[in-house]
Amino acid sequence: MASAPLRSCIGCRTVRPKAELVRVHAAQGGVVAVDLDGGPGRGAYLCPRRACVEQAVRRGEFSRHLKVALTSPGVDALQELIQERASRKVVSLLGLARRARKVVSGSGAVESAVKRHSARLVLIAADASSRSVGTIRALTARSGIACHTRLAKEELGAAVGGAPRSCVAVIDPHVAAAVLSVLAKIPAETEAGGSPRVEAIDPTSRAAPRRFGGDPAWE
Ligand SMILES: [Zn+2]
C-alpha cells in the first residue's frame, strides 16, 4: 500500500494519517465547518479526541491554520457539529446498504444475523430499552462482533427506511468498515486517544461468508 497522507493535529500536534483525523475548514460567514469527506480549499485537522478539540479552541488554532479571522467555536458546539455530521453520514451509508440488501433491522432479524455470524457490525439505538437489546448486546460481545451505540431509534429507522428501530446489523464487511471509520471520528472523551465506544475489531479481517464475498458493488 502506498504510504497514507499524513497531517498534524492542530490540538496535540501529533502527526497521524489524514484519514484518522477530522478535517475542518472556514465556511462562509467566518465560522468553522467540519468535513468528514475532505474538501477543497485550506483545511486543518484534529484528532477525534475531546482533549485535542479543547486545546485547539483554547489556543485559537482555527484562525491561525485556516488563515482567516474566524469566530472561535466553543468546544461543545464543535463536538456537536462533528457528531451531527458523523450521524448524518452513517444514516446515508445505511440507506445505501439497505438498497443493496446489506442491512437487517429489528431485534429478531439482528439476533439471527449475529447468531449466524453474518452480522459485521451491530448498531444499537442509544434510546433502546435494555430489555429489547440485552440479548443482542451479550451475543455481539461473545462473538466479537463490533457493536456501537450512537444513533437514536428514529435515526436508525429512517436510515433503513421505516419505523423507529432498536437495532440494525450491517452484513457486509466493507459497509461495516465504512460506518466504523465514520463513527471513529466522533471525538472521544478519553485522554488516551481512540474511541471507547467502538470496539477495536476490523470487520473486514474475518473471512467473509461466501454469499457476501467478492461483491463488486462494495469493493
Ligand atoms: Zn490531537
Given 47, 73, 99, the domain boundary residue is 73
**Domain membership flag for residue 165:** yes
The x, y and z cell numbers of residue 122, run together, are 451491530
**Residue 90 alpha carbon to ligand 1 centre in Å:** 23
- How confident is the model at residue 198, as a pLDDT? 43
- How many angstroms separate the alpha carbon of residue 74 from the centre of ligand 1? 17
Q: Which of 140, 135, 150 is nearest to 197 (CA)?
A: 150
Alpha carbon distance 197, 188 (integer Å):
8
Q: Say which amino acid occupies 160.
A: V
Domain span at 156: 86-218
- DSSP letter for each residue of 17-86: EGGGSEEEEEETTTEEEEESS--SS-EEEE-SBHHHHHHHHHTTHHHHHHTS--PPPPHHHHHHHHHHHH
Last residue within a domain, chosen from 52, 73, 94: 73
Task: Give the domain CATH number at 38.
Answer: 3.30.1230.10
- Tell me, yes or no, whether 111 and 200 share the same domain: yes
| CA of 191 relative to ligand 1 center, distance in Å | 10
Q: What is the pLDDT of residue 205?
A: 57
Of 51, 73, 95, the residue at which a domain comes to its end is: 73
The total of structural domains in the chain comes to 2
- CA–centroid distance, residue 189 to ligand 1 (Å): 12
User: Does residue 126 fall inside a structural domain?
Assistant: yes
Query: Looking at the domain assignment, is residue 154 inside a domain?
Result: yes
Do 211 and 149 share a structural domain? yes
- Collect residues with CB below 5 Å from ion ligand 1: 9, 11-12, 47, 52
In this structure, are 117 and 195 located in the same domain? yes
Kindly report the number of other CB atoms within 10 A of residue 108's CB atom: 11
Helix (H) or strand (E) holding 132: helix 130-143
Do residues 98 and 199 both lie within one domain? yes
> What single-letter DSSP state applies at residue 49?
B
Examine the domain organization and report whether 203 and 120 are in the same domain: yes
15 alpha carbon to ligand 1 midpoint, in Å? Answer: 8
Question: Do 99 and 204 fall into the same domain?
Answer: yes
Same domain, 101 and 161: yes
Query: Ligand 1 center to residue 4 CA distance, Å?
Result: 18
Cα 122 to middle of ligand 1, angstroms:
28
pLDDT value, residue 46 = 95
C-alpha cell at 219: 469493493
Grid coordinates of 29: 460567514
CA of 61 to the centre of ligand 1 (A): 12
Residue 58 in any domain: the answer is yes
Q: Which residue type does 85 have?
A: R
Per-block mean pLDDT, blocks of 10 residues, the chain (219 long)? 86 94 89 83 92 93 86 85 92 94 94 95 94 92 92 92 94 95 86 43 52 39
Question: Separation of 219 CA from ligand 1 center, angstroms?
Answer: 31
3-state secondary structure 165-187: CCEEEECCHHHHHHHHHHHCCCC
What does the pLDDT read at residue 55?
95
**What b/e sequence results for 8-27 when a residue is b if at least 16 CB atoms lie within 10 Å of its CB, and e otherwise?**
ebbbeeeebeeebbbbbbbe
Q: Is residue 1 part of a domain?
A: no
C-alpha 47 to ligand 1 mean position (Å): 4
pLDDT at position 109 is: 95
Q: How far is the CA of 17 from the centre of ligand 1 (A)?
A: 12
Q: Say how many Å lie between the CA of residue 82 and the centre of ligand 1.
A: 15
